[in-house]
Structure 1
Amino acid sequence: MSGPAPTRRDRRAQRELKRRRRRRTTMVVVGSIAALLLIGGGAFAAVTLMGGGAGGATGEAQLAAEPVVFPQDEPAAADGAGPCTTLNVLSSFENAEMVEELANGYNAQPRDVGGACVDVVATRDKSGIAAEDAAEGFPDLAEAERPAVWIPDAATWLGVARDAGAGDVVPESGTSLGASDIVLAMPEPLADAIGWDDDAPTWDEVLTASEDTQLWADLGHPEWGGFQLGKTSPVIASSGEAAMFVSYGSASGSVADLAAADVADEAVTQAVRDHELAVSHYMATPEHFLWHARQAEERGGSAAEFLSAVIVDEKSVWDYNRGITSRDGATRIESDPPAEKLVAIYPTDGFYVADNPAVVLTADWVSEAQQAAADDFIRYAGTEQGQQIVRDYGYRDLNGVLSEAVAETGNLDPAPVGVLDFPEQDVVVAVHQAFPDVRKRAQVLFLIDASGSMDDVLESGQTRLEGAKDAITLALDHFAAGDDVGLAAFSSGGDGVLRPGLVSPVQDIGDSRDEFLAALDGLEAIAYTPLFEAVDEFALQQSQSYDPDRINAIVLLSDGTNNTAVPTTTEEEMLSTLDEVSHTLLVFTLAYGADADVEALQAISGATGAHYYDATDPLEVEDVLGDLVTSF
């Protein structure tokens, strides 16, 4: 005869007991290894390291038969002669903090490489963007600023860059500096309600749940709405790549054995398309999703209002649970830990690992002195001092070991089982090429400020309006046949009438691209800025054509504050409208120029759970808008 069902408190107690047992087991294993090392013991038990890079491309990222013994750093007795060799190291957004601290640790000690001192300079960019730039030779950077070392957060990007034309610059493999498992993260109450905190699902079960609009209601929580699965863009971020790999693997029958033939299979492709319908929208980095989850809680609600689960790296889960978020992936905001922490879930059929491979670029702008300095910096990252930084900053070291404090705060498993090698390079490239076909289609209206200030001239010699037109023209390349895209603009004269209004209807861009571009080219700056009225009017219009199988959105670009000749819609009225349509429409906002009303634009995007983008330096509008459209 069975007893009463366990309460939430019972289940939490059971989870804590399991976590303590896992931690004790890990400590015993590590302690035993340390003892063996001290006495020069014989054979070692196998220790799981991070997963392999693209088909085993990184030799350092495989299962090790014995633990790595980290050597001590051996700095020089004194700095070499000046001028110092400048070593530019390019990281991803995800691992930037760790890489910056490794650079600081290296620079803090005297270095003499080839008779010269060394100055490591850390920079960052999104992995997908860096792969594209590497293929083009980093054309937007002066030669002295181009990287000599690239550390994407996963080895897959090496193959992506090489396939794009960087084979002469990017080596096939690199040296892993540390690892972060790519997991399914859920707010604790949701993980508890579905039981995945105690009994991890398969990826197929995750994807099936994401398609069940009544799942939370059936579990007694209708207030959580439908199951909202967050994914980053696979052409930008490693977590997005991993999400696509498991989607294809689940559809083909094996996450562990994904092949290029599976990606080409039409039945598999259709199943992946169906999986993608559950995505609310894509974002460029994990931080974008977690920022909105925290904002939902800070408004007095729950993270469940924005997401049910999101595929991210462990480091991001640790950051979130200790109160660190970022709106843009670069600027960090530290606050109190959230009331609803995230739980890291490791699906039972395996998970990928961001292995952070460092490669020394074989480019003509990398001197012999820089190559030698790069080798020495990478050597330092593998020392006890370097690996301590890796652990302190939320990563698993080269023995797969997490800091105990990181594991505890992050709700991370100290020793999870199920590491998957990344697919072979041909599979990775095939998935990238297939994404435009399988992604959730968009229904988007570009809403452009056409006030008089858009005639102001930029440093480039263009007017603001001309710069915006160029940026939108480039951004349009992100969309393909099947995406519905339209264009509207707003200004007004002394009569207060909003014009020109809709200039290209929201329709299949595959058929209407020429019409859209002609309408865009014909826009002219007028006078006033009826920002609130325009958002109110077009949000109502767009919400009426809501399609659950599309990402329904407005992309708002504005360079000023609300300004009208006669009273029109107030900010309060507009925000009330946005609250009404927030379950059917996303309004992404882009502040264009230093005079943009940042506070109002953030309020507009936040009211619908969309993201705010900063192009207050108007010369950056092309890059920022390019980042924004990865949400579709």
Structure 2
Amino acid sequence: MAGRGPGPRPRCAGVGAPAGRQRPPVVGPARGAARLAGGDPVTRRRPATRLTVRVALVATLLAGLAAACGGNGKGRASGGLDDVPKGCEAVDMAVSPEKVTLLTDLARSFNDSDAAKKGGCSVVRVQKVSSGVGMQLLANGWPDAQANGPRPVVWSPASSAWGAILNQKRRDKNQSDLAPPSKAFMRTPLVIAMPRPMAQALGWPDTPIGYADILSLAQNPNGWGAKGHPEWGPFKLGKTNPNFSTSALSATIAQYYAATQKTSGLSLEDLGQPQVDAFARGVESSVVHYGDITLTFLNNLYRSDRRGASLTYVSAVAVEEKSVIDYNSGNPDGILDPGEVPRKPRVPLVAVYPKEGTLFSDNPFIVLDAPWVSARQKQAARAFEAFVKQPENQRRVLKFGFRPGNPQVRVGAPIDRANGVDANQPQNVLDVPEPPVLVRILDLWAQQRKAARVQLVIDVSGSMGEPAGGGGETKLDLAKRAATSALNDFKDDDQVGLRVFTTGIRTTEPSDYLDLVPIGRIGDNRGQIDAAIQSLEPQHGTPLYTVAQASYDALRQSFDPTRINAVVLLTDGKNEDDRNPDVNNLLTRLRNSNEGESTRPVRIFTIGYGKDADLGVLRRIAEATNAAAYDASDPTSINQVFTAVISNF
């Protein structure tokens, strides 16, 4: 969507996680954070125009809706925000999700060490906040600590680029910098992860591969047939939203460098060149869908691999090197539940280090120059930074699949070819552009991203008229407000329609759903959809399976290969249609028509709304179409959830 700026996203609990898997609680801000079905809260993003519109709405949710996943509904990451003993200083850290387990572990060790007692007692507490969300919260002064978690003393996004963007946004408002220069304590490069046979078809490992090769294959009408594999269909790229995801931000920067054939000095003038714009749009045209976290793609790919279909889901995913190691170990989300035994994929991934160059996620340790940070807290934060950089702790960093920031610790296993990665790569490292260029890249992405074709499907059954909380509003009232707000997250060229469903909504067939606004250009029908949403009233039962299948079929029949084709289905209940009671039949039909993804992939993103929603079934419906399910069991979180869902387009 045009204008999507960093905004919140529901947390990713089940975002595409293999069915039945639950992630352990994770410390992260945001109390009533929305969650992906499966148990974890979620979050998301947005650029300039919308950024402004969404920030107030989403700031509350953002923090908690971090990327990886928590499970307690309060957005607290494992290790949690422990109580601080009397007389001790709390040193709160906001860290990107992929390293929350590692830093929670290190914080506990530090808190038990003598180093934490020097200069007075201090306690480091870790909370999970995705990089883009943390940037936006800090840009706005970290509002509402009760909802977003305590204001951090230390901020560690995945990349120092986020600190540069934060400072630039504050400078644009004549405010002082919050993120001083800082050093990395561990690193991991951006790679293009590809199933090994696909990489080999492009010449890997002997022939360097880059974004120009991706663009060429993406624009070839024969797709993988041009490489002798028509059975793989068109080239499909998995990429998240650069307003919140570091891997997507790095990939987008690298695309611009590839288009200009530069490795440094990317300028605003470069971004404005027509050939650069065409290159960026060409790469984006191959995207399967977006989203707030790479785990969606990796978990969906892992599920496809178990069914023997990994070569037709996605051709490549922009991720960090560490994620390739996790995936190949049989742990695509990087978190092992107690007693869980990882199963290696049938088809492993390999890390392609783009020949044009790539960027490192340098994981800076930023002690904030913020008015709420005391001198004593800064001293304690520096003590923890020194502790983390000690050789024995840097070896723990390596064990987690990151490259140590301390040069005294050599890079070794698991960063090796046995795990699909290469410690001797990358050969070409790109410079991080200047802050104004970074901000402009995010603005341009909103215009260049792949357009969407989305059917909004909203439950108007009788239970939607139930109270949503103590404020006197109903669940439908809150859903109407959230859906209306979400319309601003689409760019004018996106195509959106509105369908409502309940049993007996009309006397003629189809009797269980009604198209209030047909799918059309939202720049032309936004007001019409808004008015239709405001007129909704609760009615009868919930024909969930019927409307899911009908909406899916309709989009497949009118499929547009130049767009992301998807259904967003919100319901607060279970299937109540006696004429269509068989969920297994629905799932089989969805899976069979979607398997292979070589022709007309349509995804159903589901929202389980309220405590009575059948989250298990909704997750299975989403997974059958390689999408994601979102948990809004707390009706007051529906704004955040809608924000997270729309991040996929």
Q: TM-score range by the shorter chain?
A: 0.7 to 0.9
The reply to whether residue 520 of structure 1 matches residue 523 of structure 2 is no
Instruction: Tell me the residue number matched to 2:451.
Output: 441
Alignment partner of 1:381 out of 385, 388, 397: 388
Distance in 2 between residues matched to 1:558 and 1:258, nearest whole Å: 46
The reply to whether residue 340 of structure 1 matches residue 347 of structure 2 is yes
Distance in 2 between residues matched to 1:445 and 1:516, nearest whole Å: 11
For residues 552-563 of structure 1, the aligned pairs below 5 Å read 552-563=565-576
Distance in 2 between residues matched to 1:192 and 1:253, nearest whole Å: 25
Q: Which segment drifts farther, 314-323 or 407-416?
A: 407-416
Instruction: Decide whether aligned partners of structure 1 residues 397 and 232 sit closer, same or farther in structure 2, where only a CA change above 3 A counts.
Output: same
For residues 427-576 of structure 1, the aligned pairs below 5 Å read 427-459=437-469, 461=471, 462-493=473-504, 498-499=511-512, 501-564=514-577, 566-568=578-580, 570-576=582-588
Distance in 2 between residues matched to 1:466 and 1:331, nearest whole Å: 38
For residues 47-196 of structure 1, the aligned pairs below 5 Å read 82-112=86-116, 115-142=119-146, 145-165=150-170, 167-168=175-176, 170-196=178-204
Q: Which segment drifts farther, 483-492 or 569-578?
A: 569-578
Q: Which amino acid aligns with 2:277?
A: T
Distance in 2 between residues matched to 1:173 and 1:382, nearest whole Å: 17
* 1:211 positional shift: 2.7
Instruction: Decide whether aligned partners of structure 1 residues 254 and 169 sit closer, same or farther in structure 2, where only a CA change above 3 A counts.
Output: closer
Instruction: Decide whether aligned partners of structure 1 residues 112 and 586 sit closer, same or farther in structure 2, where only a CA change above 3 A counts.
Output: closer
Q: SS in structure 2 opposite 1:274?
A: helix
Instruction: Decide whether aligned partners of structure 1 residues 572 and 463 sit closer, same or farther in structure 2, where only a CA change above 3 A counts.
Output: same
* 1:282 positional shift: 1.0
For residues 250-261 of structure 1, the aligned pairs below 5 Å read 250-261=258-269
Instruction: Tell me the residue number matched to 1:17.
Output: none
- Higher Cα Rg, which structure: 1
Distance in 1 between residues matched to 2:533 and 2:336, nearest whole Å: 32
Instruction: Tell me the residue number matched to 1:415.
Output: 424
2:513 and 2:547 in contact (8 A); partners too: no
Percent identity between the two aligned chains: 32
Instruction: Tell me the residue number matched to 2:231.
Output: 223
Instruction: Decide whether aligned partners of structure 1 residues 392 and 572 sit closer, same or farther in structure 2, where only a CA change above 3 A counts.
Output: closer
Instruction: Decide whether aligned partners of structure 1 residues 260 and 376 sit closer, same or farther in structure 2, where only a CA change above 3 A counts.
Output: same
Instruction: Decide whether aligned partners of structure 1 residues 507 and 214 sit closer, same or farther in structure 2, where only a CA change above 3 A counts.
Output: same
1:89 and 1:148 in contact (8 A); partners too: yes
* 1:114 positional shift: 6.2
* 1:308 positional shift: 1.0
Q: Which amino acid aligns with 2:107?
A: A
The reply to whether residue 618 of structure 1 matches residue 622 of structure 2 is no
Distance in 1 between residues matched to 2:628 and 2:194, nearest whole Å: 20
Distance in 1 between residues matched to 2:285 and 2:115, nearest whole Å: 53
Instruction: Tell me the residue number matched to 1:33.
Output: none
Instruction: Decide whether aligned partners of structure 1 residues 137 and 114 sit closer, same or farther in structure 2, where only a CA change above 3 A counts.
Output: farther
Q: Which amino acid aligns with 2:257?
A: G
Q: Which amino acid aligns with 1:522?
A: S
Distance in 1 between residues matched to 2:625 and 2:418, nearest whole Å: 30
Q: Which amino acid aligns with 2:160?
A: A
Distance in 2 between residues matched to 1:604 and 1:475, nearest whole Å: 22
Distance in 2 between residues matched to 1:275 and 1:81, nearest whole Å: 53
Relative to the length of structure 2, the TM-score reads: 0.80
1:132 and 1:164 in contact (8 A); partners too: no
Distance in 1 between residues matched to 2:256 and 2:124, nearest whole Å: 40
* 1:555 positional shift: 0.8
Distance in 2 between residues matched to 1:596 and 1:330, nearest whole Å: 27
Alignment partner of 2:356 out of 334, 349, 359: 349
* 1:460 positional shift: 5.0
* 1:470 positional shift: 2.3
Instruction: Tell me the residue number matched to 1:56.
Output: none
Structure with the larger RCO, 1 or 2 (CA within 8 Å, 6+ apart) = 2
Count of residue correspondences: 550
Alignment partner of 2:277 out of 256, 259, 269: 269
Q: SS in structure 2 opposite 1:446?
A: strand
Distance in 1 between residues matched to 2:185 and 2:98, nearest whole Å: 14
Instruction: Decide whether aligned partners of structure 1 residues 255 and 483 sit closer, same or farther in structure 2, where only a CA change above 3 A counts.
Output: farther
* 1:466 positional shift: 1.7
Q: SS in structure 2 opposite 1:280?
A: coil
Instruction: Decide whether aligned partners of structure 1 residues 306 and 476 sit closer, same or farther in structure 2, where only a CA change above 3 A counts.
Output: same
Distance in 2 between residues matched to 1:334 and 1:512, nearest whole Å: 50
Alignment partner of 1:591 out of 605, 608, 611: 608
Q: SS in structure 2 opposite 1:279?
A: coil
* 1:239 positional shift: 1.0
Q: Which segment drifts farther, 568-577 or 530-539?
A: 568-577
Q: Which amino acid aligns with 1:483?
A: D
Distance in 1 between residues matched to 2:412 and 2:611, nearest whole Å: 43
Instruction: Tell me the residue number matched to 1:48.
Output: none
1:178 and 1:390 in contact (8 A); partners too: yes
* 1:390 positional shift: 1.6
1:392 and 1:403 in contact (8 A); partners too: no
Instruction: Tell me the residue number matched to 1:14.
Output: none
Distance in 1 between residues matched to 2:154 and 2:271, nearest whole Å: 32
Relative to the length of structure 1, the TM-score reads: 0.82
Q: Which amino acid aligns with 2:155?
A: W
Computed over aligned residues only, the root mean square deviation of the Cα atoms, in angstroms, reads 2.5
Distance in 1 between residues matched to 2:423 and 2:616, nearest whole Å: 41
For residues 366-405 of structure 1, the aligned pairs below 5 Å read 366-398=373-405, 399=407, 401-405=410-414
Q: Which amino acid aligns with 2:449?
A: R
Distance in 2 between residues matched to 1:207 and 1:422, nearest whole Å: 22
* 1:591 positional shift: 1.6
* 1:615 positional shift: 2.1
Instruction: Identify unmatched segments of 5+ residues in structure 1.
Output: 1-79
Deviations 1:267-311 (A, max 9, x none): 32133212211111112112111000001012x223222111111
Q: SS in structure 1 opposite 2:176?
A: coil
Deviations 1:20-62 (A, max 9, x none): xxxxxxxxxxxxxxxxxxxxxxxxxxxxxxxxxxxxxxxxxxx
1:446 and 1:554 in contact (8 A); partners too: yes
Q: SS in structure 2 opposite 1:83?
A: coil
Deviations 1:211-270 (A, max 9, x none): 335242243333222111111111111111122122222223335442211112233213
Q: Which segment drifts farther, 169-178 or 518-527?
A: 169-178
